Amino acid sequence: MCLNFAFPELSPMDGISAGTQKDEMVLRIVVRMPPQHIIKGDLKQQEFYLGSSKVNGKLDWKMLDEAVCQVFKDYVTKMDPALTLGLSIESVYGYSINHVKRILDMEPPELPPSRRGVSSIAVTLKGLKEKCVDSLVFETLIPKPMMQHYISLLLKHRRLILSGPSGTGKTYLTNRLAEYLVERSGREVTEGIVNTFNMHQQSCKDLQLYLSNLANQIDRETGIDVPLVILLDDLSEPGSISELVNGALTCKYHKCPYIIGTTNQPVKMTPNHGLHLSFRMLTFSNNVEPANGFLVRYLRRKLLESDSDVNANRDELLRVLDWVPKLWYHLHTFLEKHSTSDFLIGPCFFLSCPIGIEDFRTWFIDLWNNSIIPYLQEGAKDGIKVHGQKAAWEDPVEWVRDTLPWPSAQQDQSKLYHLPPPSVGPHSIVSPPEERSGKDSTPNSLESDPLVCFHTCR
């Protein structure tokens, strides 16, 4: 998907300004998320910059309503031009200006908005109270029909496992779903209302003992606060989790906590469990939504929120950001051909992409040589061990060198490491970059190390 949209300094709402330049004021418009501190260590972005709008000195509520809706519409169109998310001006619940709240579907306040001390407008999107998921969709960049489906599965079956490659955002989504369930419950937010088990660090026996004790507490109605949601992160044997949970959590089903798990492993559920006790499965794939469209939407959002002074040359920057999803698809295709499902790359790997040509250039060269190439090498070696030679070898750096998107990229082609066909020996090394002009350039080879950074955004 091409990021070929224009970036005016201000919103098209410039046209509503009928006064003199002296009477004009520029309002910064943001979407503000409700502060929630439910999951320990989970850092969330609280504000999202939408854009700015000029208004004249004769402020009134109708003018501000139009400004807010137009800026939100412009933002959504640029961030999600195919309107995949399902967001529109109907998603806007209201806004606050100078501590005065305006709800769009209701009569405006009697007093006109004051100019004094006004520099920004905080927009609120429709959420749980309005029986909508627009706010959650905006925050997560997951299409509305998919988000509604996830929530429907949870409310009906109470148990859900998200499976898919590392880096597809599964852990992030489980945290957001847990917050939604807590808000929906109306329960007081306590420290243990959401409990997370990292199954890479804790054993199945630990989980079994915890669930058994929890079931006893629920049956005895001890009055002790039990968690509303249990998150099982990084399941290594997802196929057996249903049997473990059903055997340990023996309390009445409607009293059981919601349980949401994540796994990087393919899931095969045994068919002999009653449907009302089984986990429902959601499979995330790099080839379909929400993963395959997330990176483009995220980069668009990042660009829209960035400092305009940093991005003086918009066209060059757009070419660079347009290239990142293509790069991801190229690497994903390479790993599908030459590796196993354990080594697929999710979009989260590229979220640290800086907004700025020179910063991007430095970031990418380092990322390619020190992270991507070692990871591809490990993946290719794993593929040879498991499947043998599946396809003719193509060095992925050739496509990258030929398509580098920044100005004067030719001088950087030789700085990128190439990847020779894999050797299954224990001391395989990455080949250093070579000068295309034929000049002798042989930096030291790097011993490959398996990447762990792919597991930070499961």
Question: pLDDT at position 314, please?
Answer: 75
Element (DSSP H or E) covering residue 363: helix 357-367
107 with 219, same domain: the answer is no
199 with 108, same domain: the answer is no
Question: pLDDT at position 271, please?
Answer: 52
Buried b (16+ CB within 10 A) or exposed e, 83-112: ebbbbeeebbbbbebeeeebebeeebeeee
CB neighbour list of residue 222: distance below 8 Å, 6 or more residues apart: none
132 with 156, same domain: the answer is no
User: How would residue 191 be classed by pLDDT, with cut points 50, 70 and 90?
Assistant: confident
The mean pLDDT of 140-162, rounded to a whole number, is 96
Say how far apart CA 55 and CA 270 lie, in whole Å.
62
Mean pLDDT lowest among 49-58, 110-119, 231-240, 445-454: 445-454
Task: Provide the token pair at 437.
Answer: 């002009």
Mean pLDDT lowest among 25-39, 225-239, 425-439: 425-439
- Evaluate whether residue 388 is within a structural domain: yes
Q: Does 133 score more than 60 pLDDT?
A: yes
Q: What is the mean pLDDT of the chain?
A: 82
Task: Provide the token pair at 24.
Answer: 């004009």
Question: pLDDT at position 202, please?
Answer: 85
- Among the three residues 136, 157, 183, which one is the final residue of a domain in this structure? 136
pTM of the model: 0.83
180 with 111, same domain: the answer is no
Element (DSSP H or E) covering residue 32: strand 25-32
CB atoms within 10 A of CB 414: 16
- Evaluate whether residue 73 is within a structural domain: yes
Say how far apart CA 414 and CA 258 lie, in whole Å.
52
Say what percent of the chain tops pLDDT 70: 82
Question: pLDDT at position 348, please?
Answer: 87
Q: What angle do CA 150, 153, 155 make, to 5 degrees?
A: 110
Please count the structural domains in the chain: 3
150 with 241, same domain: the answer is yes
Question: pLDDT at position 440, please?
Answer: 33
Q: Write out the E strands in 164-264.
A: 194-198, 229-233, 258-263
The mean pLDDT of 64-80, rounded to a whole number, is 95
- Among the three residues 266, 283, 300, which one is the final residue of a domain in this structure? 283
More confident position, 315 or 172: 172
119 with 224, same domain: the answer is no
Question: pLDDT at position 354, please?
Answer: 93
How far from chain centre, in Å, is Cα 282?
Answer: 16
204 with 247, same domain: the answer is yes
Q: Are 166 and 173 in contact (CB under 8 A)?
A: no
Say how far apart CA 414 and CA 129 lie, in whole Å.
56
Q: What angle do CA 365, 371, 376 make, to 5 degrees?
A: 110
Q: Does 14 score more than 50 pLDDT?
A: no
Say how far apart CA 5 and CA 2 lie, in whole Å.
9
Q: Does 355 score more than 50 pLDDT?
A: yes
Helix (H, G, I), strand (E, B) or coil at 103: strand
153 with 265, same domain: the answer is yes
Put the strands of the sheet holding 229-233 in their side by side order.
Answer: 194-198, 229-233, 258-263, 159-163, 280-283
CATH number for the domain that contains residue 172: 3.40.50.300
DSSP assigned state of 369: I
101 with 214, same domain: the answer is no
- Evaluate whether residue 457 is within a structural domain: no
- Evaluate whether residue 103 is within a structural domain: yes
pLDDT digits (tens, 9 = 90+) for 425-456: 555 455 555 443 333 332 232 233 323 333 33
More confident position, 237 or 209: 209
Q: Does 107 score more than 90 pLDDT?
A: yes
DSSP assigned state of 5: -
Say how far apart CA 1 and CA 295 lie, in whole Å.
10
157 with 197, same domain: the answer is yes
Helix (H, G, I), strand (E, B) or coil at 239: helix
More confident position, 200 or 302: 302
The mean pLDDT of 206-221, rounded to a whole number, is 88
Q: Does 373 score more than 90 pLDDT?
A: yes
Helix (H, G, I), strand (E, B) or coil at 352: coil
Question: pLDDT at position 264, please?
Answer: 86
Say how far apart CA 29 and CA 32 lie, in whole Å.
10
Domain extent at residue 185: 144-283
The mean pLDDT of 74-97, rounded to a whole number, is 95
User: How would residue 398 be classed by pLDDT, with cut points 50, 70 and 90?
Assistant: very high
